[in-house]
Structure 1
Amino acid sequence: MFDRPLKVLFISSEVVPFAKTGGLADVAGSLPKALATVGNEGPGHDVRIAMPHYKGIEGAAYRLDFPVFFQGRAETAIIRESGIEAHYKGEHRTVPVYLVDNHHYFYRDGLYMFPDEAARFAFFCRAVLEMLPRLNWQPDILHCNDWQTGPIPFFLKVRYRHDPFYHRMATVFTIHNLQYQGNFPKETLTLLGVGEEYFTPQLLEFYGTVSFMKMGILYADVITTVSRTYAAEIQRPEMGERMDGLLRKRSHDLYGIVNGINYHEFNPRTDPRIYRNYDVESIENKRENKVALQKEMNLPVRDVPLLGMISRLVDQKGLDLVAEVADRLLSQDVQLVVLGSGDRYYEEMFREIQRRYPEKVGVYIGFNAILAQRIYAGADMFLMPSRFEPCGLGQLIAMRYGTVPVVRATGGLADTVVDYNPATGTGTGFVFYEYKGDAFYHALQRALFVYREQPEQWRRIVREGMERDFSWARSAVEYLQLYQEALSRHLARAKVS
């Protein structure tokens, strides 16, 4: 352990509350706050955030600007500053957020899916590094997240290796979803300022492309992903997205830390979005949320098991298994509510299931944050039959609200949900292993049996899930320990005194 607070720059392409398309933004908006307020004594760790300044972000104050020599010309990087508030055990801190602005690259509708993605995020990474000496701030740790920040570890070890300002900076690279890799044509080498000698399988070449994800994995001091099981899964060919060999080579530097959830926001005792507040000592009040949810989803108010799903409607989420078991499940006395959007095929699939079972199925296609909380609070069970799930937040929120998860044992689902054991009466949910409809259906039947026939055991499962600690404070302590390990390794490798 180091005898001084750490200086950490958390770098992400999206951060709540400024910009969000998925779970990365939630992590980037929550973990830095926890890092700034827990796991240390005295003045606290100096944690800051860097992200792009997208069109639509308001309220960030001008801090400085400078040229970044990029693609043979000087591009202006404007640094704006805002902050997010962190509260913990009576302490209050503001985490600075540096927003990299450039009208050409970031003043657009939407965050991603543009033809010049490689240039946009290569520029962002260069601007972040060039910003630091101008701020006169030297982080100990640069915590990079997903492919958009993959060039940063590469730049440090190649472009900035002779600049003493950067020598002591260690890098941590977190893979949130290996499926999204940032693979671009060979010409991308010019954006990085290097020649064709780097276009080899041992360096940046990846099946005929230049991969930003590979850069992060190859050059970071330490690699993390968002659960221990996912860290193991991505080292196998079937889930390694063609990077399993590289990850196996770096297995000694690869760690899994489960994401947390914001216990201030996700608290059934105080949540203003749900119908009736409750906690582990007043679980009986949860029933009022169920009745109100049935009414809101135009379902009959009946004392039957109410199953909930909140999901991106994409293949990863195991929705083909839902289709396979739907008729067998809905022939029973149950109800199902679904909230989500995504592939049109799955949106129509759920609409069709609703048409077949209008008295049993409620579907909302789209995003509705208030309805999501009401499903977490009102459902009896929460379904996540995912094909793969790097971490998953839904099961953590569901347990926090006393809603029992039924999940497949993959990624973070395997690490966070304890399968109910009838011999001991312990567990926090119902788990299946094979990616098959019959396995999913059997887990559902086990859950329905305990719910209907063993109400005392069911309440025990609910209570055990609500009492588990999946707060960011717990995860932050693990990250701080890993930061110190990364810095020690970096200094040893670089032989910097």
Structure 2
Amino acid sequence: MKDKRILFVSSEVVPYLPETELSSTAFISAKNAHSKGVQTRIFMPRYGVINERRHQLHEVIRLSGMNLVVNDIDMPLIIKVASIPKERMQVYFIDNEEYFKRKAVFTDEDDEMFSDNDERAIFFAKGVVETVKKLNWAPDIIHVHGWMASLLPLYLRVFYKEEPLFTESKIVTSLYSNGFEGELNADLAEKVKFDLSESDKLATIQVPNHTNILKSAIENSDAIIHGSETISDELSSFIEEKGMPVLEYESENLKESYLNFYAELLAAK
């Protein structure tokens, strides 16, 4: 795997957000790959709770400045970057005043999901792709962590399917048990349809609950990793129907098992 390129895209990453199974695994999987000579890039949203001064975030002017269209509205893309202390790994932050300035991650002070979480997920997915295009950095593996990043496989497979930078990329999605209750905005599929037109893959997200958002990521990925010990029976059955490579939950030997899984996936081209 040395000199291969892996793009890690996560809803959460330590040390920028509190330690959870998801945020820790996203960090550890990137750190382990980096330590083995793999070229890595990490992308996450720049939530307003992230202390920019403490973590030394700074805007990258050459990458910022473009507008992304979300639901037929132009939304400015701001790119910030930081280095994880002691690791020499760069983390890129997708930012926008409207979507990510608020001092919260997914929910308001009443613990209610933000009504625009659907648009935030669309913006994040498109922002990652457009930034990687500007970097002209073709990843061998794209590893997706967390539901906020779960529209990325759909966009890569449909909206960006002609983009040469990603034609050889293998998409891996990690599944975690920490989801959300209820549904995202009921208009999610219509908003995505603005980009994807009449794609039959929109049917999966017509009811935009946590399970269906992950199903969309699964059906547009090349392989799945169980990031949590327990995955719902519905998702397990869905994966089995697809007959795709799966790495079961690993609590100990995560370092080698992930790298071996990546290598097997690339060897199967």
Taking structure 1 as the reference length, what is the TM-score of the superposition?
0.47
Q: Which amino acid aligns with 2:38?
A: H
Distance in 2 (alpha carbons) for counterparts of 1:181 and 1:486: 33
- CA gap 1:11/1:255 in 2 versus in 1, 3 angstroms: same
The answer to whether residue 71 in structure 2 is matched with residue 71 in structure 1 is yes
Native 8 Å contact 1:13 1:51 kept in 2: yes
Q: CA deviation at 1:26?
A: 1.7
Q: CA deviation at 1:485?
A: 2.5
Distance in 2 (alpha carbons) for counterparts of 1:37 and 1:479: 13
Native 8 Å contact 2:144 2:171 kept in 1: yes
Q: Which amino acid aligns with 1:31?
A: S
Q: For 1:485, which of 236, 240, 264 is the aligned residue?
A: 264
Distance in 2 (alpha carbons) for counterparts of 1:214 and 1:181: 16
Native 8 Å contact 1:8 1:46 kept in 2: yes
Q: CA deviation at 1:185?
A: 4.8
2:58 alignment counterpart? 61
Deviations 1:367-426 (Å, cap 9, x if unpaired)? xxxxxxxxxxxxxxxxxxxxxxxxxxxxxxxxxxxxxxxxxxxxxxxxxxxxxxxxxxxx
Paired residues for 1:398-477 under 5 Å: 470=252, 474-477=253-256
Q: For structure 2, which runs of at least 5 residues remain unmatched after alignment? A: 108-113
The answer to whether residue 45 in structure 2 is matched with residue 35 in structure 1 is no
1:141 alignment counterpart? 141
- CA gap 1:182/1:12 in 2 versus in 1, 3 angstroms: farther
1:212 alignment counterpart? 213
SS at match of 2:90: strand
Native 8 Å contact 1:150 1:214 kept in 2: no
1:45 alignment counterpart? 38
- CA gap 1:24/1:183 in 2 versus in 1, 3 angstroms: same
1:245 alignment counterpart? 237
Paired residues for 1:344-363 under 5 Å: none
Deviations 1:346-373 (Å, cap 9, x if unpaired)? xxxxxxxxxxxxxxxxxxxxxxxxxxxx
1:172 alignment counterpart? 172
The answer to whether residue 101 in structure 2 is matched with residue 107 in structure 1 is yes
Deviations 1:6-65 (Å, cap 9, x if unpaired)? 111111111111112632112223321122113xxxxx1111210011114212111121
What percentage of residue pairs aligned between the two structures are identical? 25
SS at match of 2:121: helix
The answer to whether residue 159 in structure 2 is matched with residue 159 in structure 1 is yes
Native 8 Å contact 2:146 2:176 kept in 1: yes
Q: CA deviation at 1:182?
A: 8.2
Larger Rg: 1
Distance in 2 (alpha carbons) for counterparts of 1:214 and 1:164: 25
Native 8 Å contact 2:154 2:220 kept in 1: yes
Native 8 Å contact 2:141 2:172 kept in 1: yes
Q: Which amino acid aligns with 1:107?
A: K
- CA gap 1:166/1:197 in 2 versus in 1, 3 angstroms: closer
Native 8 Å contact 1:33 1:85 kept in 2: no
2:111 alignment counterpart? none
Distance in 1 (alpha carbons) for counterparts of 2:9 and 2:68: 18
1:19 alignment counterpart? 17
Q: CA deviation at 1:253?
A: 1.9
Distance in 2 (alpha carbons) for counterparts of 1:181 and 1:247: 22
Q: For structure 1, which runs of at least 5 residues remain unmatched after alignment? A: 39-43, 87-92, 260-469, 493-497
Q: CA deviation at 1:482?
A: 1.2
Native 8 Å contact 2:173 2:224 kept in 1: yes
Distance in 2 (alpha carbons) for counterparts of 1:167 and 1:112: 32
Q: CA deviation at 1:194?
A: 3.0
State the structure with bigger RCO (CA 8 A, min sep 6), 1 or 2. Answer: 2
Deviations 1:202-257 (Å, cap 9, x if unpaired)? x4246x44632111111111011136x64xxx4xxxx42x3343122134422214
RMSD: 2.4
1:198 alignment counterpart? 200
Native 8 Å contact 2:136 2:165 kept in 1: no
Native 8 Å contact 1:189 1:195 kept in 2: no
Q: CA deviation at 1:487?
A: 2.9
Q: Which amino acid aligns with 2:57?
A: A
Distance in 1 (alpha carbons) for counterparts of 2:28 and 2:235: 29
- CA gap 1:97/1:126 in 2 versus in 1, 3 angstroms: same
Distance in 2 (alpha carbons) for counterparts of 1:214 and 1:14: 20
Q: CA deviation at 1:158?
A: 0.4
Paired residues for 1:276-425 under 5 Å: none
Native 8 Å contact 2:29 2:258 kept in 1: no
SS at match of 2:139: coil
Native 8 Å contact 1:147 1:181 kept in 2: no
2:227 alignment counterpart? 226
1:187 alignment counterpart? 187
